[in-house]
Protein backbone atom coordinates (compact mmCIF):
# COMPACT_ATOMS: atom_id res chain seq x y z
CA UNK A 1 0.00 0.00 0.00
CA UNK A 2 1.25 3.50 -0.82
CA UNK A 3 0.32 6.76 0.89
CA UNK A 4 1.09 9.55 -1.56
CA UNK A 5 1.40 13.29 -1.04
CA UNK A 6 -0.46 15.51 -3.52
CA UNK A 7 -1.84 14.07 -6.73
CA UNK A 8 0.50 14.92 -9.60
CA UNK A 9 3.11 16.53 -7.31
CA UNK A 10 6.65 15.85 -8.53
CA UNK A 11 7.91 14.73 -5.10
CA UNK A 12 4.97 12.34 -4.73
CA UNK A 13 5.61 10.81 -8.11
CA UNK A 14 9.38 10.51 -7.70
CA UNK A 15 9.24 9.18 -4.14
CA UNK A 16 6.66 6.55 -5.06
CA UNK A 17 8.37 5.43 -8.28
CA UNK A 18 11.82 5.26 -6.70
CA UNK A 19 10.60 3.33 -3.67
CA UNK A 20 8.65 0.78 -5.68
CA UNK A 21 11.33 0.39 -8.36
CA UNK A 22 14.06 -0.11 -5.76
CA UNK A 23 12.09 -2.91 -4.13
CA UNK A 24 11.41 -4.60 -7.47
CA UNK A 25 15.06 -4.25 -8.61
CA UNK A 26 16.11 -5.97 -5.40
CA UNK A 27 13.88 -8.97 -5.99
CA UNK A 28 10.98 -8.07 -3.72
CA UNK A 29 7.75 -9.41 -5.12
CA UNK A 30 5.03 -6.77 -4.91
CA UNK A 31 1.29 -6.70 -5.29
CA UNK A 32 -0.16 -3.22 -5.10
CA UNK A 33 -3.35 -3.57 -3.09
CA UNK A 34 -4.17 0.10 -3.00
CA UNK A 35 -2.97 3.62 -2.59
CA UNK A 36 -4.34 6.82 -1.19
CA UNK A 37 -3.62 10.49 -1.67
CA UNK A 38 -3.16 11.95 1.81
CA UNK A 39 -1.69 15.37 0.92
CA UNK A 40 1.36 15.03 3.18
CA UNK A 41 -1.06 15.08 6.16
CA UNK A 42 -1.04 12.75 9.17
CA UNK A 43 -4.79 12.97 9.87
CA UNK A 44 -5.70 12.32 6.22
CA UNK A 45 -3.30 9.36 6.14
CA UNK A 46 -4.92 7.95 9.28
CA UNK A 47 -8.40 8.20 7.75
CA UNK A 48 -7.31 6.72 4.40
CA UNK A 49 -5.41 3.89 6.08
CA UNK A 50 -8.39 3.03 8.29
CA UNK A 51 -10.56 2.70 5.18
CA UNK A 52 -7.95 0.55 3.42
CA UNK A 53 -7.65 -1.65 6.53
CA UNK A 54 -11.33 -2.45 6.21
CA UNK A 55 -11.04 -3.07 2.47
CA UNK A 56 -7.89 -5.22 2.67
CA UNK A 57 -8.25 -6.76 6.14
CA UNK A 58 -5.20 -8.85 7.00
CA UNK A 59 -3.62 -8.53 3.53
CA UNK A 60 -1.47 -5.40 3.95
CA UNK A 61 2.19 -6.32 4.49
CA UNK A 62 3.92 -3.01 3.78
CA UNK A 63 2.98 0.66 3.74
CA UNK A 64 5.24 3.09 1.93
CA UNK A 65 4.44 6.70 2.78
CA UNK A 66 5.80 9.70 0.86
CA UNK A 67 6.65 11.39 4.19
CA UNK A 68 6.96 10.57 7.88
CA UNK A 69 3.74 12.35 8.84
CA UNK A 70 1.69 10.10 6.58
CA UNK A 71 3.55 7.04 7.87
CA UNK A 72 2.67 8.12 11.40
CA UNK A 73 -0.96 8.56 10.32
CA UNK A 74 -0.94 4.94 9.14
CA UNK A 75 0.44 3.91 12.53
CA UNK A 76 -2.31 5.91 14.24
CA UNK A 77 -4.87 3.96 12.21
CA UNK A 78 -3.35 0.63 13.27
CA UNK A 79 -3.22 1.72 16.89
CA UNK A 80 -6.91 2.75 16.75
CA UNK A 81 -7.87 -0.51 15.04
CA UNK A 82 -6.74 -2.48 18.09
CA UNK A 83 -4.66 -4.74 15.84
CA UNK A 84 -1.80 -6.03 18.01
CA UNK A 85 1.47 -4.26 17.24
CA UNK A 86 3.16 -7.54 16.31
CA UNK A 87 0.58 -7.95 13.51
CA UNK A 88 1.11 -4.48 12.00
CA UNK A 89 2.60 -4.34 8.52
CA UNK A 90 5.96 -2.71 7.97
CA UNK A 91 5.60 1.07 7.68
CA UNK A 92 8.27 3.20 5.99
CA UNK A 93 8.34 6.98 5.75
CA UNK A 94 10.54 9.57 4.10
CA UNK A 95 12.23 12.68 5.54
CA UNK A 96 14.00 11.40 8.64
CA UNK A 97 12.08 13.77 10.89
CA UNK A 98 12.54 13.69 14.65
CA UNK A 99 9.09 12.14 15.15
CA UNK A 100 9.75 9.63 12.37
CA UNK A 101 13.06 8.60 13.91
CA UNK A 102 11.40 8.31 17.32
CA UNK A 103 8.78 5.97 15.80
CA UNK A 104 11.58 3.83 14.36
CA UNK A 105 13.23 3.66 17.79
CA UNK A 106 9.90 2.59 19.33
CA UNK A 107 9.56 -0.16 16.71
CA UNK A 108 6.44 1.35 15.14
CA UNK A 109 8.09 2.22 11.82
CA UNK A 110 10.65 -0.04 10.20
CA UNK A 111 12.45 2.90 8.67
CA UNK A 112 12.56 6.41 7.32
CA UNK A 113 14.71 7.86 4.57
CA UNK A 114 16.69 10.96 5.49
CA UNK A 115 15.92 13.97 3.30
CA UNK A 116 19.00 16.19 3.48
CA UNK A 117 17.20 19.53 3.30
CA UNK A 118 20.24 21.44 4.57
CA UNK A 119 22.49 19.90 1.93
CA UNK A 120 19.91 20.58 -0.77
CA UNK A 121 19.60 24.21 0.33
CA UNK A 122 23.39 24.56 0.32
CA UNK A 123 23.65 23.22 -3.22
CA UNK A 124 20.85 25.53 -4.41
CA UNK A 125 22.79 28.47 -2.97
CA UNK A 126 25.98 27.30 -4.69
CA UNK A 127 24.16 26.90 -8.01
CA UNK A 128 22.47 30.30 -7.75
CA UNK A 129 25.82 31.90 -6.92
CA UNK A 130 27.50 30.19 -9.87
CA UNK A 131 24.75 31.36 -12.24
CA UNK A 132 24.82 34.91 -10.86
CA UNK A 133 28.61 35.19 -11.15
CA UNK A 134 28.98 33.64 -14.58
CA UNK A 135 29.86 30.17 -13.45
CA UNK A 136 32.55 30.77 -10.85
CA UNK A 137 32.80 27.65 -8.75
CA UNK A 138 33.40 29.24 -5.36
CA UNK A 139 31.43 27.53 -2.63
CA UNK A 140 29.69 29.57 0.02
CA UNK A 141 28.02 28.43 3.16
CA UNK A 142 25.17 30.05 5.02
CA UNK A 143 25.53 27.85 8.11
Q: Is the pTM of this model over 0.85?
A: no
Is residue 137 assigned to a domain? no
pLDDT the model gives residue 138: 56
Is residue 59 assigned to a domain? yes
Structural domains of the chain, count: 1
Is residue 65 assigned to a domain? yes
138: Cβ contacts below 8 Å, ≥ 6 apart: 129
Is residue 81 assigned to a domain? yes
pLDDT at 5 over 90: yes
Is residue 86 assigned to a domain? yes
Task: Give per-residue pLDDT as tens, 99-126.
Answer: 999 999 999 999 998 887 777 778 888 8
Is residue 49 assigned to a domain? yes
Is residue 12 assigned to a domain? yes
At 7, which CATH number?
Answer: 3.40.50.2300
Residues spanned by the domain of 80: 2-115
Residue 29's Cβ-count burial label (10 Å; 0-12, 13-18, 19+) is: exposed
pLDDT at 140 over 90: no
Burial 110-137 (b: 16+ CB within 10 A, else e): bebeebeeeeeebeeeeeeeeeeeeeee
Amino acid sequence: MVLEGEAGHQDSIVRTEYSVNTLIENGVELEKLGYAIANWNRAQAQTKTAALLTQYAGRIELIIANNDDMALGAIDAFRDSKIPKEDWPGVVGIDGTDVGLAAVKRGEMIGTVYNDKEGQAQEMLNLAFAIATGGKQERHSFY
